[in-house]
């Protein structure tokens, strides 16, 4: 008989514990219901990249001295530099410069060690193509600057939404909105 009573007590304790755990998890779920969505609907909304974002490489042909430092510091020897030594002026003449972004790991070593700063990282991250050979950029394709993300329609829409939320006092304090803006920018 005593065994049966302790069994009922254990069963009752387990039932109360399970109800408490369910209630706690439900409260956590409700606390997240009042937050802004974190998911970005990619083709329609674009992420504003940070200041140090490593996107597509931009190349300035006129600044390059064909020293091949970028090739030596690249962990995969990726940049292809074609040059010829001009004997009359004793300088290298650059003919072609290309990078295959299908292989590039976007480490930024080439930009960091370039003595003439002819290479720089852009904020462009949309490099998808149907054919991987289209990711091989020559000096003409590398020289094109991307469209700025701040001028994009979706970014302006996000900024307008944030300002309307700020007017409605949706945010708890100024620090809360700064955290959201830091995430977006």
* Distance between CA atoms of residues 136 and 133, nearest Å: 6
- Both tokens of 163, joined, read 């300002």
Return the pLDDT at 175: 58
Q: What is the largest CA-CA distance in the chain?
A: 109
pLDDT digits (tens, 9 = 90+) for 23-56: 999 999 888 887 777 777 777 777 778 888 999 9
| φ/ψ (deg, to 5) at 37 | -70, 145
Sign of the dihedral defined by the CA atoms of residues 6, 8, 11, 16, in that order: negative
CATH code for the structural domain at 57-143: 3.30.70.3270
Residue 48 and residue 153 in contact, taking contact as beta carbons nearer than 8 Å: no
Q: What are the CA-CA distances from residue 14 to residues 7, 8, 90, 158, 171 (Å)?
A: 11, 10, 86, 48, 40
Return the pLDDT at 113: 95
Q: pTM of the predicted model, to two decimals?
A: 0.60
Q: Which single residue is written with the structure tokens 């944030």? A: 162
Q: Which residues are annotated as a binding site?
A: 64, 67, 70, 74, 104, 107, 110, 114
Residue 167 and residue 159 in contact, taking contact as beta carbons nearer than 8 Å: no
* Distance between CA atoms of residues 64 and 142, nearest Å: 13
| pLDDT of residue 150 exceeding 60 | no
| pLDDT of residue 181 exceeding 60 | no
Ranges of each domain in the chain: 57-143
pLDDT band at 57 (very low <50, low <70, confident <90, very high): very high
- Both tokens of 141, joined, read 């394709």
Give the percent of the chain with pLDDT over 70: 79
127 three-state secondary structure? coil
Q: What is the mean pLDDT of residues 2-12?
A: 74
Q: Which residues are annotated as a binding site for [4Fe-4S] cluster?
A: 64, 67, 70, 74, 104, 107, 110, 114
Q: What is the mean pLDDT of residues 145-171?
A: 65
| pLDDT of residue 151 exceeding 70 | no
Q: What is the mean pLDDT of the chain?
A: 83
Q: Which residue has the higher pLDDT, 57 or 170?
A: 57
8 three-state secondary structure? helix
pLDDT digits (tens, 9 = 90+) for 70-109: 999 999 999 999 999 988 888 899 999 999 999 999 999 9
């Amino acid at each position: 008989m005593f065994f049966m009573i302790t069994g009922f007590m254990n069963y009752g304790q387990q039932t109360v514990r399970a109800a408490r755990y369910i209630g706690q998890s439900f409260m956590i779920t409700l606390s997240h219901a009042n937050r802004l969505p974190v998911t970005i609907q990619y083709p329609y909304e674009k992420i504003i990249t940070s200041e140090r974002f490593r996107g597509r490489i931009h190349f300035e042909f006129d600044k390059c001295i064909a020293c091949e430092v970028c090739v030596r510091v690249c962990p995969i020897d990726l940049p292809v530099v074609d040059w010829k030594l001009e004997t009359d002026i004793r300088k290298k003449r650059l003919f072609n410069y290309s990078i295959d972004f299908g292989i590039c790991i976007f480490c930024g070593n080439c930009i960091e060690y370039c003595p003439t700063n002819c290479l720089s990282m852009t904020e462009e991250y949309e490099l998808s193509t149907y054919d991987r050979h289209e990711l091989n950029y020559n000096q003409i394709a590398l020289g094109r600057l991307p469209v700025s993300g701040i001028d994009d329609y979706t970014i302006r829409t996000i900024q307008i939404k944030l300002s309307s939320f700020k007017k409605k006092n949706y945010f708890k304090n100024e620090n809360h909105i700064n955290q959201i803006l830091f995430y977006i920018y």
